Amino acid sequence: MNDARDHDSAVANIAKAEIVLPGGDLKDTLPFFKDRLGFRLEAIFPADDPAVAVVAGYGLRLRLERGAELPPGTLRLHCADPAALAAGATELTAPNGTRVEFVADAAPLQLPANAPSFVVTRLSPADAWGIGRAGMQYRDLVPDRQGGRFIASHIRIPDGGPVPDMVHFHKIRFQMIFCYRGWVDLLYQDQGPLFRMHAGDCVLQPPEIRHRVVECSPGLEVIEIGCPADHMTGIDHDLELPTAALDPERDFGSQRFLRHQAAETPWQPWRFAGVESRDNGIDAATDGLADARVLRFPASDGTTRGLPPHRHTAEFLFSFLLAGSARLSAAGQADEDLGPGDSFVIPQGMTYALAGASADLESLQVALPANYGTAE
């Protein structure tokens, strides 16, 4: 009787099962499972260079992992209490060699330790643009990923028209999209009908909000910043967008959705003389987790345009030049002449400056947290 009760309790504890298999080259393997065998895509990540895909069909979920040396098979059981099934063990081996893993069904988001570094990334005609999710092309702006904690991507869709996207969501701490060139039509859960994001606009995508890219102009380019770098994109096959509900203040992981429209936002003086900013509203929407703004340098009275030598206390400080040019000077580094499409990351405590900013210079700056300090 005790064995029967233990068995019933164990069965009730299991939420779903997943079989892990070698993925090989996912661009070949995934179409085989989807188009030839009829499995449907449930999740894929990371977005800029997919290495893991989860497909489901016929009562089975398969996790296809690229480049992994896997045994003949692994059965992963997602449990409310993994330790309850095998006397505290995290895995067992079946008689046929199959490894059975017990994992938490609602595991918390894993944030790698931050590894701040100085990064300069230049836009070049020779850049290798990788093919990511939904046929989008990606350029990595922070190749070292700051230890895996942050990712910044320059994303483009050269051909306009409908985008083959699905309703999806991201398991993230922070994610924003800034429209650099062109326009894109988007749908978001509980945020009303389809809307168009133009160059200079941005959205904050709070954790796990369902959304879909619908259509875009030819030559669309956006900048996406996220934390952590490797985060899962999940597919929601059941939710239809737009949703009937309208709840613009809905809480998603202590954040709310934000649509920032540049044309409706005035320029304001910023923390340094001769610098103005257009606040994207992300500070308020994330309750201080992050800040995003566009900077410009309108001084025309003989004042040198740019940023004076200073250092900051932010966990992450990223800048992308939208237009114009300037010279970046950073302690211990060679000076860098930057132009449109170039970007840089300045680690905490490093003194840096921007000099010789052109009259048309505009740069996107993203910082975590929002209330970071500066000192000259």
pLDDT given for residue 38 in this prediction: 82
Confidence of residue 18 (pLDDT cuts 50, 70, 90): confident
- Give 151 or 71, the one with higher predicted confidence: 151
- The whole-angstrom separation of Cα 19 and Cα 39 is 13
* Closest to 368 in 3D by CA, of 302, 297, 286: 286
Per-residue confidence (pLDDT) for residue 4, from 0 to 100: 59
Residue 293 structure tokens: 């703004």
Beta strand 99-104 pairing with 74-79: parallel
Q: How far apart are CA 76 and CA 347, in angstroms?
A: 39
For the residues 165-176, what does the mean pLDDT come to?
Answer: 96
What whole-number distance in Å separates Cα of residue 94 and Cα of residue 7? 17
Binned at pLDDT 50, 70 and 90, residue 29 comes out as confident
The pLDDT tens digits of the residues spanning 297-348 come to 987 665 678 999 999 999 999 999 999 999 999 999 999 999 999 999 999 9
The residue count of the chain comes to 376
Q: Which domains does the chain have, with CATH numbers?
A: 2-104 (3.10.180.10), 119-260 (2.60.120.10), 264-375 (2.60.120.10)
